[in-house]
Amino acid sequence: MATQAIRPVRKLDERHLARQRWARAGWVYGTMLALAVFFIGPFYVAFLGSLKDNPLEWPFRYSFAQTQPKNWAAAWRLGQLGAGNPWTGGFAPGAEIPFQISYFVEEGQEPEPPTVTVPTRRAGAGLGAIFDEVQAAPYAQVSEVQEVSRRPAVVGGQPGQVVTYAFTIRYPKGDATANQPTVPRLPLDVEAPRGQQYYAATLDPNRLERRGRVASWDSVTPGFFGYVFRNYVRVFNEARDPNTGASFFLRWTANTFFVSLVVVLTTLLFASLGGYALARMYLPGKNYLFAFIVFTMTVPSQATFISNYLVLRDLGLLGSLWGMIVWSAVGAGAVFIMKQFFESIPREIEEAALMDGATPVTTFFRIILPMAAPALGALTILTFQGMWNEFFKAAVVLSGQQASYTLPLGLSFFRSAYGVAGDWGLMLASAFLSMIPIIILFVVFQRYFVEGVSTSALKG
């Protein structure tokens, strides 16, 4: 009887402990989820802002034209009809674009058809305003606007009716000798008479003006990317070199990749060699040398930039990416990290390699360096991220050479070129594009932050 009484008590204790474990796990994961939302939330809002035509709108809306699947499908179809390109759209000879727009008319007012025009409109602000672009206005022909349906409706508490109009935009195809270019965009303005308010359209407009009477599209044949990710497309299409027409953003991205990769390689090479020498080899005064290296870590680069500037000037490296590389080839912090890591490796491993006939060079490159993969991976991320986001050195070395800019300096240039015009959508899009390589690098090398030297030694 006593044994039977003990068993239910044990089961209750086990259930209680299990509930406690689940409760602790729930609190931990709940806290982590809350922190993730807290830190990722601003980035999510900024990403949504990069998709909007007006990122500064208030109150901020999380559901807008670019996030609605019906507009995705409409933009894809209109891009296909306009130039046979459902991704970025256009307006090509022979195109016929059927379009519908609906207005709400209050009860007691007779509807009137709107006025449809294809305006001459530049691509955007900043650098996009200085380039000549083929306009659709000389080639587009708009058919007569016809009413196709009416239905009763109540909008804002006001009874009335929704009237739908239809029209077609054509690009007549000439003979073989006619010079008919493919136009990148087909802008459109539709103005309704007073008392009529915009209600819906085949594709939601980019802007509504005059209290909803005027609906304006930057392009009614945008394609999927040209509508949903319009600001991202503009980053590559509008920000171009006035002399060559090449994309500034692509050039800046290539420059940043080149500088970051070269600096990562030189840092890994010299930091590992220097760290191993300080950790294992006998060097007269190496403790004083290490103390000096630690001291230089406390000196900011702003305190020595004048001397570095003069050296780079005398070497003729100002305005060159190689000037950035020479200035940042290896840092004291990298040597410190590798020295501390090598000291944590047991000496018995090197002694065993020496007994097997391995030379110090073979021991370092064939045994010690593979074991240092966690430190090298972490150093790769830290160095690449530091160079990818380096602004001060780029501003000192590359100032005035727009073709040689790196991304941080280029984004600052965007701020001066587009921020004055209030074109914050393009700036947000360029900032998010510049984040992608760092995110990919972290995902690839993140395991090195948690992998220890003991695990590496066992694998070796």
Q: pLDDT 10s per residue in the chain (460 long)?
A: 455 555 555 565 677 677 777 877 778 777 877 776 677 778 888 889 899 988 888 888 889 999 999 999 999 999 999 999 999 999 999 999 999 999 999 888 889 999 999 998 876 666 666 677 889 999 999 999 999 999 999 988 889 999 999 999 999 987 765 788 999 999 999 999 988 989 999 999 999 988 778 999 999 999 999 999 999 998 888 878 777 778 889 999 999 999 999 999 999 999 999 899 888 888 788 888 888 888 888 888 778 888 888 999 998 998 899 999 999 888 888 998 899 888 888 888 888 888 888 888 888 888 888 888 888 888 888 899 899 999 999 988 987 778 889 999 988 888 877 766 667 888 889 888 988 888 888 777 766 655 543 333 344 4
User: Is residue 20 assigned to a domain?
Assistant: no
Same structural domain, 294 and 416: yes
Same structural domain, 224 and 255: no
Same structural domain, 255 and 131: no
User: Is residue 366 assigned to a domain?
Assistant: yes
User: Is residue 100 assigned to a domain?
Assistant: yes
Q: Give the three-class secondary structure for 75.
A: helix
Q: Name the token pair of 124.
A: 């955007």
Phi-psi region of 359 (alpha: psi -120 to 50; beta: other; left: phi over 0): beta
Same structural domain, 83 and 210: yes
User: Is residue 21 assigned to a domain?
Assistant: no
Number of domains in the chain: 2
Question: Which pLDDT score, from 0 to 100, does residue 344 have?
Answer: 85
Same structural domain, 279 and 195: no
CB 83 within 8 A of CB 91: yes
Same structural domain, 364 and 309: yes
Write down the H helix ranges in 230-316.
230-237, 248-280, 286-296, 305-314
Same structural domain, 300 and 388: yes
Q: Name the token pair of 65.
A: 């034209």
State which residues form the domain around 387. Answer: 248-459
The secondary element (H helix, E strand) that includes residue 217 is strand 214-217
pTM of the model: 0.81
Question: Which pLDDT score, from 0 to 100, does residue 453 have?
Answer: 36
Same structural domain, 396 and 270: yes
CA 407, 234, 192: angle at the middle one, nearest 5?
150
CA 111, 105, 200: angle at the middle one, nearest 5?
105
Question: Which pLDDT score, from 0 to 100, does residue 413 have?
Answer: 83
Same structural domain, 305 and 203: no
**Residues 321, 319: Cα–Cα separation, whole Å:** 7
**Residues 426, 415: Cα–Cα separation, whole Å:** 10
Question: Which pLDDT score, from 0 to 100, does residue 66 have?
Answer: 94
User: Is residue 37 assigned to a domain?
Assistant: no
Q: Which residues pair with 200 in a beta bridge?
A: 102
CB 105 within 8 A of CB 96: no
User: Is residue 406 assigned to a domain?
Assistant: yes
Same structural domain, 120 and 259: no
Same structural domain, 142 and 260: no
